[in-house]
């Protein structure tokens, strides 16, 4: 690999990772606002909300209770599919992107059918939430396997922590080339995740579940790029 192609590939990976992070922040915020505090990407956050719902007698308990097992099952199936395709010498990137798009479309369609949602325990509302959780479970799986060259794109706590550590080390004169590379890779994802979350909140208040067309469009672009790459 030449010195000129490696930076170009790193830049491409950072850009694609940022787009995935945008999707995660966008979808997670949409689910949180529309479905009474359901996290679709950061599902362990639902455990905190379950405790709050029990103590304060809030609604929406059942959806949050089943979100974690649904997420775990979706991750397991996604990984199994990836390994099965690997054994056949095929990449799972295109199929898994297609599956994520499919489930996000389901989230959109069922969300529209369920709207206006006044009770997250209603069957259609729970189904909408689980479709969103499944879509983001697929992205979590690909982020840690197929797209491991990206920074993690769904939960930003680890990324923010690492960037702060690396920046402090640099100011203290202990920065390394590896640390500078991590900052260049992680910072775009953090900013994109934040932008997705903010934009989702605004657009959802204007058009409801139709706001999910934006992350679906981003994933379609990534799907087309991946399909052409493998063609």
Q: What is the CATH number of the domain that holds 161?
A: 1.20.1250
Over residues 21-41, the mean pLDDT reads 93
Of 6-10, 97-101, 106-110, the least confident = 6-10
Q: What integer pLDDT is reported at residue 49 of this predicted model?
A: 74
Q: What integer pLDDT is reported at residue 225 of this predicted model?
A: 93
Q: What integer pLDDT is reported at residue 62 of this predicted model?
A: 79
* Of residues 12 and 61, more confidently modeled: 61
Note whether residue 196 is domain-resident: yes
Q: What integer pLDDT is reported at residue 10 of this predicted model?
A: 56
pLDDT in tens, 181-215: 888 889 999 999 999 999 999 999 999 999 999 99
What would the two tokens of residue 74 be?
């979706």
Over residues 90-103, the mean pLDDT reads 95
Q: What integer pLDDT is reported at residue 13 of this predicted model?
A: 66
* Of residues 54 and 133, more confidently modeled: 133
CA–CA separation, 126 and 86 (whole Å): 34
pLDDT band for position 147 (cuts 50, 70, 90): confident
Element (H, E) at 94: helix 93-114
Q: What percent of the chain has pLDDT over 90?
A: 58
Angle subtended by helix axes 123-144 and 61-87, to nearest 10: 40
Q: Which residue has the tokens 């797209």?
A: 147
Note whether residue 197 is domain-resident: yes
pLDDT band for position 1 (cuts 50, 70, 90): very low
CA–CA separation, 231 and 229 (whole Å): 6
Contact 16, 22 (CB under 8 A): no
Q: Which residue has the tokens 């709207």?
A: 115
Q: What integer pLDDT is reported at residue 131 of this predicted model?
A: 97
Note whether residue 68 is domain-resident: yes
In which domain, by residue range, is 199 found? 15-226
Domain count of the fold of the chain: 1
Note whether residue 3 is domain-resident: no
Over residues 213-228, the mean pLDDT reads 96
122 phi/psi in degrees, rounded to 5: -65, 140
Note whether residue 8 is domain-resident: no
Sign of the torsion formed by the C-alpha atoms of 181, 175, 159 and 215: negative
CA–CA separation, 107 and 111 (whole Å): 6
Note whether residue 4 is domain-resident: no
- What radius of gyration, in Å, describes the C-alpha atoms of the chain? 18
What would the two tokens of residue 132 be?
């969103």
Note whether residue 6 is domain-resident: no
Note whether residue 161 is domain-resident: yes
**HSE-up of 42 (CA within 13 Å, CB side)?**
22
- Please provide the DSSP assignment of 176-215 as one string: -HHHHHHHHHHHHHHHHHHHHHHHHHHHHHHHGGGGGHHH
Terminal C-alpha separation, the chain = 21
CA–CA separation, 155 and 25 (whole Å): 9
Element (H, E) at 157: helix 157-171
Q: What integer pLDDT is reported at residue 3 of this predicted model?
A: 45
Q: What integer pLDDT is reported at residue 185 of this predicted model?
A: 86
Does the structure show a pLDDT above 70 at 12?
no
pLDDT in tens, 46-83: 777 777 666 765 666 778 889 889 999 999 999 999 99
Q: What integer pLDDT is reported at residue 156 of this predicted model?
A: 87
Q: What integer pLDDT is reported at residue 51 of this predicted model?
A: 72
Over residues 8-37, the mean pLDDT reads 85
CA–CA separation, 158 and 30 (whole Å): 22
CB atoms near residue 24 (< 10 Å): 29
CA–CA separation, 148 and 76 (whole Å): 17
What would the two tokens of residue 61 be?
């308990």
């Amino acid at each position: 690999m030449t010195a000129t192609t490696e930076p170009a590939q790193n830049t491409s990976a950072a850009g694609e990772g940022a787009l995935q992070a945008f999707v995660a922040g966008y979808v997670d915020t949409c689910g949180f606002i529309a479905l009474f505090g359901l996290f679709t990407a950061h599902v362990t956050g639902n455990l905190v909300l379950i405790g709050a719902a029990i103590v304060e007698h809030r609604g929406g308990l059942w959806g949050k209770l089943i979100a974690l097992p649904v997420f775990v099952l979706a991750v397991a199936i996604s990984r199994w599919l990836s390994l099965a395709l690997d054994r056949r010498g095929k990449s799972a990137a295109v199929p898994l992107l297609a599956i994520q798009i499919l489930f996000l479309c389901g989230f959109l369609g069922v969300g529209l059918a369920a709207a206006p949602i006044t009770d997250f325990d209603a069957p259609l509302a729970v189904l909408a939430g689980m479709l969103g959780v499944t879509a983001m479970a697929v992205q979590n799986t690909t982020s840690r396997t197929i797209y491991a060259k990206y920074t993690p794109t769904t939960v930003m706590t680890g990324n923010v922590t690492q960037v702060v550590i690396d920046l402090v080390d640099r100011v203290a004169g202990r920065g390394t080339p590896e640390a500078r590379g991590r900052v260049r890779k992680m910072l775009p994802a953090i900013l994109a995740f934040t932008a997705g979350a903010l934009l989702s909140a605004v657009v959802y208040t204007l058009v409801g579940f139709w706001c999910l067309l934006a992350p679906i469009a981003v994933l379609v672009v990534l799907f087309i790029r991946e399909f052409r790459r493998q063609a």
